[in-house]
Structure 1
C-alpha cells in the first residue's frame, strides 16, 4: 500500500510566507499538509489555499497556551480547564471549517506544584472530554509523546505512558501520534515499538536525529522503516516534521518515489 506523506508547513518552506507554503508543497507533489497552529489566520484564507492546490488538511494542534514563553499545551494543567475547553472549542471550529479529521492535543509541561497523579487525573479528564466531543464530529484526537531532551519537562514523555493512557480511557476517538524522531530519542527500537503500538496509531511523523533533518540525513535507516510501514499495511498520513538541511525542495530526494505514488486528495 503506498505511503501518504504530508508537508508540515511549520517546518518546511520557511523561506516563504506561511500562506505561500501550500502552493510550494503541492508543487513538490504533496497531497496533504499539517502544521502546528492555524489560529493567526482566518479559516477562509487557509481554505482557499487548500482548494487552490488540491490539498487535504491532515492535522494541526490545539492552541498550546503561551508558546513563546515556554507553555506546551494545557490539557494536563490543573486550574487551566476553562482555557483548555476554550482551546478545544476553537480547534473544533477550525477543524470543521478546514475538513481536518485529526487534532493533536498537547499535554503541557510537568507542574511540580502538584503531584504527578493529580496532573494525570486532569489530563485523563480533559482527554476523555475531548474524545467525546470529537466523536460527534468524526474527528480523532491524538496525543504524542515528546522527548524531554528537545522539550524539557514535557508531561507525556514516553510511548508507553501514552499507550497506557489511551488504553485506560478506552475511547475510539483517542489515539496515538507516533513521531519516529521522538520515539528514537526517548526509547529507540522503532520497529518493535511500531509493531507493538500499531493498533493505537493514527498518525506518524518523521525526522532524523541527531539534527532533526530529512529522513535520508541522520542515524535512522528510514528505507527500512518505510518498507516496514508498507508491509504492515499502514494507511494513514505521515507528516514530514523535519528541519531541512538545505532548501526544502532540495531535501526531498528521498520522497520522490512516494510522492509520485500518492493518491488524489482524500
Structure 2
C-alpha cells in the first residue's frame, strides 16, 4: 500500500496544532503534512516530529504577505497563493525563502507553491499575464529549491472549492512542468480535485505517474471531502492502481490525507474514522 501522511491542518482539529503530531503517530501515521507552519517556531515543530518519529513530507509556501503575521492575514482575507498573481512577485519570493528555511529545519523535501486567484471575469490578456508571471516565478523558485535540495510542487485545484484559482487541470499542470523543464518542479496530484474537475482518475494515475512529474498524491472523499471511504470514488481500487504503477516506475512518494473527518472536530473524531486506513494497510 502507499505511504499515507496525515494532514494536520484538517485532521485532529479538536487538539492544539502541536499536539496533533502525537495523535497522528499514535494512529500509525509515519508522515505528516499541513498547510502552513509559519505561526510556530520551526524548532518547536521539529521537536514534535523527532519526538513522535514522524517525517514531514510537505507543506505550503505562504499564501501572501511578507512576514508571519502577514501570511496569516493573507489566508484569512482569502488569498490563495501568489505564484500566478501579477504584481505579487516580491511576496512570492519572500514566501519561498521563508518556506525553504522551514523546509531545512523540518527536513521536508517538498514545498507546494499555490498559484493564486485570477481577477474577476479575467480577460484573455490578464490570463496571459498571469501565465507569464507563473512560469517566471516557478523557474526562480525551482532554482532556489534545487540549491537547497528541495522540490517545488504545483497543484491543480477545483474551482468549486476555490473559485478563480489559476490552475485546475492535470494536463495544464504537467504542460507547465514540461515547459519549464526543472527536474525538481513537479505536480501535486490531488485525486479529490481531479475527480471533481476531470474524472477518469485511475487512467490519469497510469498516464502521469510514470512520467516522473508526480511528486505527491492527496486524497479525500468526493464530494463532501470527508474520509476516502465516504463518497463516489473507489479508493481501495485507486490505492491498488497507485501501488501497481509505483512499483513499475520505482515511485516512492507519499499520499497525503487531506480531508475533513465526517464527525468533525470532536474527541477521537479523526481516529474513529480511520477504518479505511486500517483496511488499506492490513
Same fold (TM over 0.5): yes
> Cα distance, 1:193 vs. partner?
1.1
Aligned to 1:240: 257
Distance in 1 (CA, whole Å) between partners of 2:12 and 2:281 is 17
Distance 2:29 2:280 in 1: 9
Structure 1 segments, 4+ long, off by >6 Å, are: none
Residue 5 of structure 2 is matched in structure 1 by 6
CA distance in structure 2 between the aligned counterparts of 1:225 and 1:235, rounded to whole angstroms: 16
Q: Does 2:277 correspond to 1:251?
A: no
Match of 1:60 in 2: 59
Number of residue pairs aligned between Structure 1 and Structure 2: 259
Q: Is the 8 A contact 1:63 1:87 kept in 2?
A: yes
Q: Deviations over 1:137-179 (max 9, x none)?
A: 1111000000001110000111111111011001101000000
CA distance in 2, matches of 1:67, 1:96: 23
Give 5+ residue unaligned stretches, structure 1. Answer: 261-266
Are 1:88 and 2:96 an aligned pair? yes
What is the CA–CA distance in structure 1 between the aligned matches of 2:243 and 2:272, rounded to whole Å? Answer: 25
Structure 2 CA distance for aligned equivalents of residues 63 and 253 of structure 1 = 33
Q: Is the 8 A contact 2:222 2:233 kept in 1?
A: yes
1:235 Cα deviation from its structure 2 partner: 2.1
Name the residue aligned to 1:221.
234
Describe the SS at the equivalent of 2:175.
helix
Tell me if structure 2 keeps the 8 A contact 1:30–1:259: no
For the 8 Å contact 2:236–2:280, the answer to whether it is kept is no
Aligned residue in 1 for 2:86:
78
Deviation readout 1:10-62 (Å, 9 max, x if unpaired): 00001000000000000000000000000000011101100000000010000
Greater shift, 77-86 or 28-37, is seen at 77-86
Give the alignment of 1:125-140 within 5 angstroms: 125-140=136-151
Equivalent residue number for residue 264 of structure 1: none
For the aligned residue pairs, the C-alpha RMSD in angstroms reads 1.1
Match of 1:209 in 2: 222
Structure 2: how far apart are the matches of 1:4 and 1:257?
Answer: 14
Instruction: Give matches, 1:100-111, under 5 Å.
Output: 100-111=108-119
User: Any conservation in 2 of the 1:4–1:259 contact (CA below 8 Å)?
Assistant: no
- Is the contact between residue 145 and residue 182 of structure 1 (CA under 8 Å) also seen in structure 2? yes
Give a deviation string over 1:83-131, Cα, whole Å, max 9, x none: 1110011000000010000000000001337521111000000000011
| 1-structure distance, mates of 2:199, 2:27 | 31
User: How far apart in 1 are the matches of 2:93 and 2:18?
Assistant: 28
The whole-number CA distance in structure 2 between the counterparts of 1:257 and 1:231 is: 18
**TM-score where L is the length of structure 1:** 0.95
Superposition deviation, residue 259 in structure 1: 4.9
2:39 maps to which residue?
A: 40
Cα offsets for 1:195-252 (capped at 9, x unmatched): 2211211100000111001111110000100011111124210000001112100111
SS in 2 for 1:37: coil
Name the SS for the 2:156 alignment partner: coil
Q: Offset of 1:258 from its aligned partner?
A: 4.5
Q: How does 1:145-160 map onto structure 2 within 5 Å?
A: 145-160=156-171
Q: Deviations over 1:55-75 (max 9, x none)?
A: 000100000021111110001
